[in-house]
Amino acid sequence: MQTTIMGRVVAYDERGSGIPLVLIHGFPLNRMIWEAQWEGLADTARVIAPDLRGFGESEMVAGATDIATYADDIRELLDALGVRQPAVIVGHSMGGYVALAYLRRYPEHVAGLVLANTKATPDSIEGKAGRDKNIALARDKGAGAIAEAMLPKLLAPNTAASKPGLVEQVNRIMQSASVPGIIAALGAMRDRPDSTGTLLEFSEPVLILAGAEDPLMPMAEQENMKEAARNSTLIVIPDSAHLSPMEQPDAFNRAVREFLAPLKNQY
Ligand code: MLT
């Protein structure tokens, strides 16, 4: 589905009814990473999965983009869809950074958070330098070079060996990202603030989903979020690396379904 918000095309999928469940993808991915979630969870929630600007079928716009820009885009889409009640926001990796920015800006619109394969802390000095290198790489060599660098880090060795179709699908998703979208997202991630304080102030439920073999999001970061968010649960998903919603969709969906159950009752 597509809509136009302030002159910009925004693509999203929407299924089901009930409590709004907003799925925000990571970098350099798009809403297709959530296929198993919108199919598996649409019987329990109103699932809304947008493409962030510059990814998938959502248009990029020129101008400054920071992590809050994506959060504002999500709010504008939810407004356009008539979602005024608090939603459960699910963020995968960079989508988690956006979810935390959304919480910072729109706390009254958040009923709960699912933080998957992500972290609350900002980039280190080395991490920032890596973003600048990747910006140059994307500019010089395009999305394919970024996809090539990312692919080996996304899937657990078992997944990569046993599901060649999934490897191909993930690669295709990353290759399709626009270069301006990639460059803007790398800059936004590089400059994002520390969100630990945002979690400290949040008393609604938080589910932290970690990939047991995620090379990008160390377990210490997961423990850090668990400690900061006073009403949180941490679940480690076995046999998954950085893309747990795609690698282990059943375990992922089961955890989200259980998380939603008490929230739905209040809804
Ligand atoms: C992502 O998957 O969104 C990125 O790997 C996150 C990051 O680079 O910090």
| pTM of the predicted model over 0.85 | yes
pLDDT computed for residue 190 by the predictor: 98
CB distance 113 to 202 below 8 Å: yes
Pairing of strands 206-211, 232-237: parallel
* Residue to mutate, 23, 94, 128, ligand 1, most ligand atoms under 8 Å from C-beta: 94
Hey, whose CA ends up nearest to atom 4 of ligand 1? 27
CA 97–ligand 1 middle distance (angstroms): 9
Nearest atom in ligand 1 to the alpha carbon of residue 27 is 3
Q: Is the pLDDT of residue 147 over 90?
A: yes
Closest CA to 259 of 178, 205, 180: 205
Q: Is 28 in the pocket of ligand 1 (CB under 6 A)?
A: no
Q: Is the CB of 94 under 6 A from ligand 1?
A: yes
The confidence band for 255, taking pLDDT boundaries of 50, 70 and 90, is: very high
pLDDT digits (tens, 9 = 90+) for 15-42: 999 999 999 999 999 999 999 999 999 9
Of the candidates 118, 71, 81, 114, which has an alpha carbon nearest to the alpha carbon of residue 5?
A: 81
- Amino acid code (one letter) for 208: I
**Tens of pLDDT, residues 204-245:** 999 999 999 999 999 999 999 999 999 999 999 999 999 999
User: In the numeric block, which tokens belong to residue 82?
Assistant: 């008539």
Q: Which atom of ligand 1 is nearest to the CA of 25?
A: 3
Instruction: Answer whether 55 contacts ligand 1 (Cβ < 6 A).
Output: no
Q: How far is the CA of 80 from the centre of ligand 1 (A)?
A: 28
pLDDT band, residue 148 (cuts 50/70/90): very high
CA of 107 to the centre of ligand 1 (A): 24
Residues 6 or more apart whose CB falls under 8 angstroms from that of 162 comprise: none
Q: Would you place residue 7 in the very low, low, confident or very high pLDDT band (cuts 50, 70, 90)?
A: confident
Q: Left, alpha or beta for 209 (phi > 0: left; psi -120 to 50: alpha)?
A: beta
| Burial class of residue 69 (count of CB atoms within 10 Å of its CB; 0-12, 13-18, 19+) | middle
Q: 115: closest CA among 238, 247, 205, 18?
A: 205
CB of 12 closer than 6 A to ligand 1? no
Q: What percent of the chain has pLDDT over 90?
A: 91
The answer on pLDDT for 263 being more than 80 is: yes
CA-to-CA separations, 72 to 2, 7, 101, 265, in angstroms, rounded: 17, 15, 9, 28
The answer to whether 114 touches 103, Cβ cutoff 8 Å, is: no
